[in-house]
Amino acid sequence: SQQGEEDPQALSIQEGENATMNCSYKTSINNLQWYRQNSGRGLVHLILIRSNEREKHSGRLRVTLDTSKKSSSLLITASRAADTASYFCATVLRMDSSYKLIFGSGTRLLVRP
């Protein structure tokens, strides 16, 4: 079963507006990652936040992590039509010799031009 749950499931905004997506998870994590998936394309890694970090920025992306609430949020500022995609959070669980990504069900973002 999947660990993370994104909220909302779908989001429609106007170009230029900010988009906020939330992710909740169940178990302790090593870190949390956000991925983007465009229609017909593979998953693209956006940003990683470690379990001992609270906030991280990358360009127009801002990620927060609250381990006490087992939740994370992804903020996309000044959205563009090209940001239209599905966004997934993935928690990282340690296997014996590597890491396993456990994905949520995703938020489908539509940015209207």
Interface positions with another protein (CB under 8 A): 2, 4, 30-31, 33, 35, 40-45, 48, 50, 88, 90, 92, 95-106
Complex with another protein: residue 75 or 93, whichever CB lies closer: 93
User: From the CB of 96, what's the least distance to another protein, in Å?
Assistant: 7
Give the tokens for residue 34.
């956000």
SS3 state of residue 81: helix
Which residues have a Cβ under 8 Å from the Cβ of 82 and sit 6 or more positions away? 111
CA–CA separation, 29 vs 94, rounded Å? Answer: 8
Tell me the CA end-to-end span of the chain in Å, nearest whole number.
Answer: 36
Nearer of residues 15 and 101 to another protein, judged by Cβ: 101
Q: In this complex, which beta carbon is closest to another protein, that of residue 56 or of residue 77? A: 56
CB of 16: closest distance to another protein in angstroms?
A: 28
- Closest separation between CB of residue 95 and another protein, Å? 5
The nearest distance, CB 71 to another protein, in angstroms, is 16
E-strand ranges in 1-113 read 5-7, 10-14, 19-24, 31-37, 43-50, 55-58, 61-66, 71-76, 85-94, 99-103, 107-112
Q: Which is nearer to another protein, 2 or 77 (CB)?
A: 2
